[in-house]
A = this chain, B = another copy of it.
Amino acid sequence: MDDFAADPSHPRYQSLLKRHQLEKAAEKGMLAGSALIAHGRGEAYDYLLGEQTIPSAMLATEFALNQLINAKKCVISLNGNTTALAGIELMKIASAIDCPVEVNIFYRTPERMKVLLEHLESINEKFGLNVKILGANPDSLIPGLEGPRAKCCKDGIFSSEVILVPLEDGDRCEALVAMGKTVIVVDLNPLSRSSRMASITIVDEISRVARNMLSLIENDDQLNDGENYENAKTIQKSILYITKSLSEKYDLQI
């Protein structure tokens, strides 16, 4: 990783690496002003989850991947933080399951769109992928949203029945669900509006989720078909995990 010099044996190596990736992305103009604050919120919840994929999150990941693979049409939505933290892995997933990605950002400016689109093109080139990258010319609107936040592509988000939208805003998540889509959200905060609104909520860190999905694809694993999947249980189990880990970290018998 270019100029990142931390020792991989450092207990917080992964966390430091992610910060470094975001700082580089910020320098390149890929992030909105609120992106680093949002990442910090994620760090706090990840700390409470032990910075690991908990079993309920793995189950949700499997089911989500199953839905993506079996969809008539699906898309992976990418914003600044997602691209910075897991752009390569998500592009490889899109390539493997043969779907497009769509750059879809909350604070849409031509400059940020350009930097993100170019960055994703460079991943296509570097890894010999041929993923269709949407977002440059939005030609549809998500009903129920106003302004630039409503913009999307007809060939991507607008017409897909299953959408992976990591780190999504609550309003947009709700609007996509209202369109009848299966909306897969990745969010470290199990209580966020996005988490509660989504069809499938993966309470996990996006780079771990992307690596887990890639590994499931590469090993051609039998995936949870979701016959008994209940998203409320996924959320409840993550909250239960956090409260247990908090209680264990400090003796509450006072």
The residues of A with any CB-CB pair to B shorter than 8 Å are 19, 22-23, 33-34, 36-45, 47, 189-191, 232-233, 235-237, 239-240, 242-243, 246-247, 249-252, 254
Closest to A34 in B: B19
Q: How far is the CB of A107 from chain B (nearest CB, A)?
A: 13
In the bound complex, residues from chain B placing their C-beta under 8 Å from that of A232 are 254
Q: Please determine whether B37 and A19 come into contact, CB atoms closer than 8 angstroms.
A: yes
In the bound complex, residues from chain B placing their C-beta under 8 Å from that of A42 are 40, 44
Q: How far is the CB of A254 from chain B (nearest CB, A)?
A: 5
In the bound complex, residues from chain B placing their C-beta under 8 Å from that of A190 are 250
Q: How far is the CB of A196 from chain B (nearest CB, A)?
A: 9
Q: Which of A22, A243, A252 has the most C-beta atoms of chain B within 10 angstroms of its own C-beta?
A: A243
In the bound complex, residues from chain B placing their C-beta under 8 Å from that of A39 are 37, 40
Q: Give the CA-CA distance A47 to B41 in the complex, in Å.
A: 10
Q: How far is the CB of A252 from chain B (nearest CB, A)?
A: 5
A-B contact pairs, 24 of them (CB 8 A): A19-B34, A19-B37, A23-B33, A36-B36, A36-B40, A37-B40, A38-B40, A40-B41, A41-B41, A41-B44, A42-B44, A44-B44, A191-B249, A235-B250, A236-B250, A236-B251, A236-B252, A239-B246, A239-B247, A239-B252, A240-B252, A240-B254, A243-B247, A243-B252
Q: How far is the CB of A202 from chain B (nearest CB, A)?
A: 17
Pick from B36, B237, B249: contact of A37, CB under 8 Å: B36
Closest to A239 in B: B250
Q: Give the CA-CA distance A250 to B240 in the complex, in Å.
A: 9
Pick from B242, B250, B254: contact of A246, CB under 8 Å: B242
Q: Which of A39, A44, A235, A242 has the most C-beta atoms of chain B within 10 angstroms of its own C-beta?
A: A44
Closest to A242 in B: B246
Q: How far is the CB of A215 from chain B (nearest CB, A)?
A: 28
Q: Give the CA-CA distance A47 to B36 in the complex, in Å.
A: 17
6 further interface pairs, Cβ-Cβ under 8 Å (given A236-B252, A237-B254):
A23-B33, A37-B37, A40-B44, A44-B45, A236-B251, A240-B252
